[in-house]
Structure 1
Amino acid sequence: MAEDKSVNPEVIVAHSGVGDPEAVQVNSIMDEAGALAVTALTAAPVDEEASRQVRRKIDLYILPFLCVTFALQFIVQASLSYASDNLWDSDILHGNDDYWLLVLFYFGFLAAVFPGLALMHKAPLAKSLGINIVIWGAILLTTMAASSFGGLAALRFNLGMAVATNSPGLIAITGIWWTREEQAIRTALWVSFLGVGDFVGTLAGYGMGQIHGSLSTWKYVYLILGVITIVWGVIFTIFVPDGPAGVKWLDENEKIVAVQRVITNKTGTRSRRFVKYQAVEALVDPQVLILGLMCFVNTIPAGALDFGSLGPQSFSLSPLEEALLYLPLSAIRFVAPLACGLLISRFPISRLRVATLAMIPPIIGAALIDRLYQSNKWGWLVGVWMQGFSSVGFMVIVSLLSTNIAGSTKRLVVWGWVFACYCIGRIAGPYFFGYAPDFSISGGITVMLCGFVLSMIFSQALRYLYTKENKIRDATLEGKSDGEIALMEKESDTQGFEDDTDKHNAMFRYAL
C-alpha cells in the first residue's frame, strides 16, 4: 500500500443502488473525486444503458475540446513555418536562424516540462490548461513586436515553455473520463487531429501569407493565430470541467456513474499530492525507460519533416504548390492513427503490435527518399508522405501513458521523462540532415531507419515485459477461491482511488 496516506476513517452515507442507504467506512481515499468516489465504490454495479448515456454526454462535451486543442497546439508549434518566408523577406532572419528558432521552441519545452507538470499537478487541471492556452496566444501576439532574431528567439523559447504541459494534460483528462477500453479510440481521435492541424494550418498559412496591409505580412500570421488561440483558451477554461464533481451537464446520479465507469481503470481520477516513493518507482521501472526511448526514436523524423529539410521546399515550387503537396502528409497523419485506433478497439491486446507494424510504411518511405532523392522527385515525395504513419507510434505511447501508469506522482515523473525524450528527438531530427549547403540525405536516412527499427524492437520488448508481468500476477491467483478473488478485485478498485501505483496493485493488468 502507498505511504503518506491518511489513516483517519471517514464514514460516508452511500446508496447501495436498491434504495436503502448504508453507512460505509472508507479509509485513505486520496482522489479528487472524494465522497463521489466513495459513493461510486459502494454503489450497485452501473447499468449498461446508464453508462452509455453518460459516455455519450462525455463524448459530446469533452472530446471535441481535446481534438481542437491538440490541433491548435500543432498550429501554434508550426507558426514559424507559416511566417518564415516573410521573415526572410523582412531581413530579420539570416543563415540558419530559422533552424535555431525551431529548436529553441523545444529547448523551452524541455526546460519547462517538469516544472510545468509540477504546477499542473497542484492546480485545477482543465483551468490550468485553459490559462496556458491563453498564454500561447499572448506570446503569439507579442511576437508581432519582435524586430530582431534575439527577440524572436526569446519568444519561441517562451512559447515552448507554455506548450509543455498541454499533451500531458490531455492524457490526464482522457484518463479521468473514459474506461481503458474506450481510451484507445478516443486517444487515437484527438492525436489524429495532429493531421487536421497540419492540414488546416498549411492552407491557412498560405492564405495568411497573401495578406498585404499596413503591417508586415508575417505579423498578420501571429495576429490572427494569437487572437484565435486566446479566444479558444477562454472557451476551454469556461466549459471544460476539472472532474466529474463540478460538471453542470450531469445530474448527481450521472456523476456517480461517471466515476463508476472508470473504477476498473484502477488509476482513480486525479490526486494532487506528491509521494516520494512513487517518484523513485518511476525512475527504476523498466517500462518507463522503454516508453521514453520509443518516443525519442519516433520523434526524430518529425523534426526533419516539420522543418522542411525533406519537404516540397526542395522542389522550388510556388507557395501554393508547396502547400498542396503537403496535404497528403497531413491526411495520412489524420487517417493512420484513427484507423489504427479503431483496430486497437476491435482487438484490445494489439496496441504494441499495431505500433510495430505501423513502422513498416515509414521504413519503405525512408528507402524511397534515399534511393529517389535526385532521380524521381515524385517517388521521393511519396516516401515523405509515408512518414505520416510514424504518428501511430506516438498515439500508442500516449494511450499507454494513460492506461498503464498508476499513481499521481509516478504519472508526473513518467510524463515528464517521456515528453523530455520527445523534445530531444525534435531537436535532434533536423540536425541529422543538416541544411544547405551542408544538407546530407544519406546520414539522416540512416538515422531514420535505425529509429524506426528500434521503435519496433522497443514495442515488442515492452509487450514482452507487460505480458510477463501480467502472467506473474495471474499466477498469484492460482488456488484462490472465487470469493477471495472478488475481495481482491474490490480492494484493487479502491486502491485506484487511494493513489496506489500499478506496481502496488496486485489486480492491475497492463494493456498490451
Structure 2
Amino acid sequence: MAVNVSKSDEIGPTSAVHHERVGNPPPPKGVAERNADVAMALFDTPEQVHEPIDPTEEQKLVRKGLKIDFMILPYLAVCYAFFYIDKTTLSYAAIFGIREDLNLQGPDYSWLSSAFYFGFLSWAFPTNFLMQRLPIGKYLGANIFFWGFFLMLQAATKSFGQLLALRFLAGAAEACSDPSFMLITSMWYTRKQQPVRIGLWYTANGFGIALGGLLGYGIGSIRGALCSTWGVVMCIFLPDSPVTAKGLSRAEKRMAVQRLRENQTGIENKHLKAYQVKEAFLDIKLYLFFILGLVSNVPNGGISNFGTLIIQGFGFSQLGTTLLQIPYGVLIAISILTCVYLNDRFINRRCMFILIFLIPNIAGAFGLHYISTDQKAGRLIAYYLTGPYNAAFVMILSLQTANTAGHTKKVVTNAVLFLGYCTGNVCQI
C-alpha cells in the first residue's frame, strides 16, 4: 500500500514538517502560523528542514535512539498492560461469581461486555480530535487516571445498572489509548521503525493477559489504583512530542524531526482542518482500514470477555482456569515479537504478515466450533490458536500510521479504524 501524502500538506517531496496548500498564494501570516506543523517551531526558516544532517551528529542521534526508546516505550507498554488487565476484569469476575452476586439474567453478561465497546464507539471521534488539540501525553495520562477510577468504582457496584454505566464510561476512557499510542509512535519513529516499536508496546497485551491470570479477580480495586497512579506518572513524564521533549537539546530535536522526512506525514498540528476531514472520507484506504479493524476483531470480543468461561467450560477449576491464561498471554507476546522481527527482516511486507498471522486465528475459531466438547486438549489448543491475531492487528496499526499524511487526516483515520475495532468486538459478543 503506497504512502498517501496529503496533496496540500507538504513543503517538499521529502519534508518532515508541513505547511498547508503549497502551490497556492501564501496565506496571511496568522493563518500560516496556525496551519504550520508544530515541528516548524524548531527551525528558523523552512529551508533548514532540507539541510543535510552531519553524519557524525546523526550517529550520535542514532545512539541516542535508545534513550528515546526509554523515554517513550516503557510508558506505553506498562499502560497497555494495565489496559488489557483491566479490560478483562469482567471475564475473571465471571468465573468468581459476579453473575450470581449481581443476579445477572439471560443476556445481561453480554450487555456488560458490549457496554465497554459502546462507550468506546461513542467517544471515538471526540477523543481523537481532543488529542489533536491538547498535549497528547497529558491527555492520555488523564484518561488513564479516569480509567482506573472507573475500575475501582466497579468493585463497589451493587446492581447490573451501576456496572453497566461504569463499563460504558471505562470504554469511553479507553477510546484514546491505541490511537494516541499510534500518533506518538508516528511522531518519534520512521516508517521502517514503526512496526517494531508498535510491536514492543503491543506485546504488553500478552503480558497483561498472563498477569491477569495471576492476579485474578480479588484485587480489582488495587489494579484500578495502580492504573490511576500510572496515569499521573504519564502526565508528568511522557513527552507530548519531539518538539517539547525535555531529554533532548534543541539541535537533537531538529535532527529527530529531520530523520522523519521520509515519512512524509508531518509531526503534529494543533488545528483541525476541514479539508483534511473531507480528504480522509474520500480516500478508499479509510474504508479499508475500517474493514480490517472490523474483521480482525470479530473473534476478540468473544475471547477477551468469554475466554475464562470457555476454559472453565472444558472442566477446569477456577484456579486452573486463571493459570491456563498465562501460556495464552505468552503465546500472544511471542507471536507479536516474531511478526515484527520477520517484517523488519523482509522489508515491510506488512500485508503479507497480516494474512499469515490471521490463519491460526481462523483455524482456532473453527476448532472451538467443531471439536467435540469432550476433547479438552484439542479445544484448549484451538483456543490458544486465536492468540496470533494480535500480531496481525499490530501490522494493521503500523500500516495505518505509515500510510496517512496530515495530522487531522491521521486522527480521522485512527477514529474510523477503531470504529471498526469496536464494531467487530460488539458483533462477536
State the TM-score, normalizing by the size of structure 2. Answer: 0.88
Show CA shifts across 1:193-244 (max 9, x none). 1101111112111xx53xxxxxxxxxx41x2122101110010110001112
Q: Residue 83 of structure 2 corresponds to which residue in structure 1?
A: 73
Q: Which residue of 30, 50, 68 corresponds with 1:58? A: 68
User: How far is the alpha carbon of 1:9 from its aligned partner?
Assistant: 6.5
CA distance in 2, matches of 1:141, 1:264: 44
Change (3 A) 1:108 1:27: closer
Unaligned ranges ≥5, structure 1: 11-25, 210-219, 431-512
CA contact (8 A) 2:192 2:348 kept: no
Question: Quick one: percent identity of the two aligned structures?
Answer: 34
Distance of 2:29 and 2:121 partners within structure 1: 42
Q: Pairwise mapping of residues 212-291 of structure 1 onto structure 2 (< 5 A)? A: 220-221=219-220, 223-291=221-289
Instruction: Specify the alignment match of 2:156 in structure 1.
Output: 145
Partners of 1:426 and 1:90 lie apart in 2 by 26
Q: Distance in 1 between matches of 2:385 and 2:44?
A: 49
Residue 293 of structure 1 aligns with an amino acid whose one-letter code is: I
> What do the CA deviations read for 1:6-29 (whole angstroms, capped 9, x no partner)?
63579xxxxxxxxxxxxxxx9986
- Aligned counterparts of 2:98 and 2:362: Cα–Cα separation in 1: 35
In structure 2, the CA distance between the partners of 1:38 and 1:360, relative to structure 1 (3 Å rule), is farther
C-alpha contact 1:113 1:419 (8 A) present in aligned 2: yes
Matched-pair contact (CA < 8 Å) for 2:102–2:158: no
- 1:363-382 alignment to 2 at 5 Å? 363-382=362-381
**2:213–2:322 CA contact under 8 A, matched in 1:** yes
CA displacement 1:352-392 (0-9 Å, x = unmatched): 11111112222332333333232422111101101111112
| 1:26-37 equivalence runs, <5 A | 30-37=36-43
What residue is the counterpart of 1:188 in the other structure? 199
Contact 2:280–2:412 (Cα < 8 Å) also in 1: yes
**SS of the counterpart of 1:387?**
coil
* Partner of residue 13, structure 2: none
Contact 2:90 2:305 in 1 (8 A): no
Distance in 2 (alpha carbons) for counterparts of 1:272 and 1:283: 20
4+ aligned runs moved over 4 Å, structure 1 = 3-6, 26-29, 37-40
Alignment partners' CA distance in 2, 1:248 and 1:277: 33
- Would the aligned equivalents of 1:37 and 1:259 in 2 still touch at CA under 8 Å? no
Secondary structure (helix, strand or coil) at the match of 2:266 reads coil
Cα 1:247–1:290, aligned 2, differ >3 Å: closer, same or farther?
same
What residue is the counterpart of 2:16 in the other structure?
Answer: none
C-alpha deviation, 1:262, in angstroms? 1.4
Q: State the distance in 1 between where 2:105 and 2:86 align.
A: 22
Q: Residues 109-508 of structure 1: matches in 2 within 5 Å?
A: 109-205=120-216, 208-209=217-218, 220-221=219-220, 223-308=221-306, 311-430=310-429
Query: SS of the residue aligned with 2:36?
Result: coil
The alpha-carbon distance between structure 1 residues 27 and 116, as it changes in their structure 2 partners (threshold 3 A), is: closer
Mapped partners of 1:46, 1:346: distance in 2 = 27
Cα deviation digits, residues 294-349 of structure 1 (max 9, x gap): 11011011111112267202123211110122222211211111111011111123
Q: Is the 8 A contact 2:99 2:109 kept in 1?
A: no
Separation in 2, partners of 1:61, 1:407:
25
- In the TM superposition, what is the alpha-carbon distance from 1:75 to its structure 2 partner? 1.4
Corresponding letter in the other structure for 2:178: S
Cα displacement (A) at 1:54: 2.7
Q: Which moved more, 1:309-318 or 1:55-64?
A: 309-318
C-alpha separation in 1, matches of 2:263 and 2:43: 13
In 1: Cα distance, 2:128 partner to 2:256 partner: 25
- Secondary structure of the residue that 1:58 maps to in structure 2? helix
> 1:2 is matched with which residue?
8
Distance, in Å, in 1 between the alignment partners of 2:43 and 2:209 is 40
Contact 1:7 1:27 in 2 (8 A): no
Query: Using the alignment, how far apart are the partners of 2:97 and 2:374 within structure 1?
Result: 31
Which range moved further: 362-371 or 285-294? 362-371
On the 8 A contact 2:336/2:390 being kept in 1, the answer is yes
SS in structure 2 at match of 1:111: helix
Read off the aligned partner of 1:105 and give its amino acid letter: F
| TM-score normalised by L of structure 1 | 0.74
Corresponding position: 1:82 with 2:81: no
Secondary structure of the residue aligned to 2:385 is: helix
AA matched with 1:79: T
**CA distance in structure 2 between the partners assigned to 1:73 and 1:425 by the alignment:** 18
RMSD of equivalent CA atoms:
2.1
Q: Contact 1:298–1:390 (CA<8 Å) still a contact in 2?
A: yes
Q: Which residue pairs with 2:12 in the alignment?
A: none
Gaps of 5+ in 2: 1-6, 10-19
**Structure 1's 368 and 89: CA in aligned 2 closer, same or farther, altered over 3 A?**
closer
How many Å separate the matches in 2 of 1:224 and 1:158?
A: 19
The structure with higher relative contact order (CA 8 Å, sep 6+) is 2
1:31–1:268 CA contact under 8 A, matched in 2? yes
Number of aligned residue pairs: give it: 402
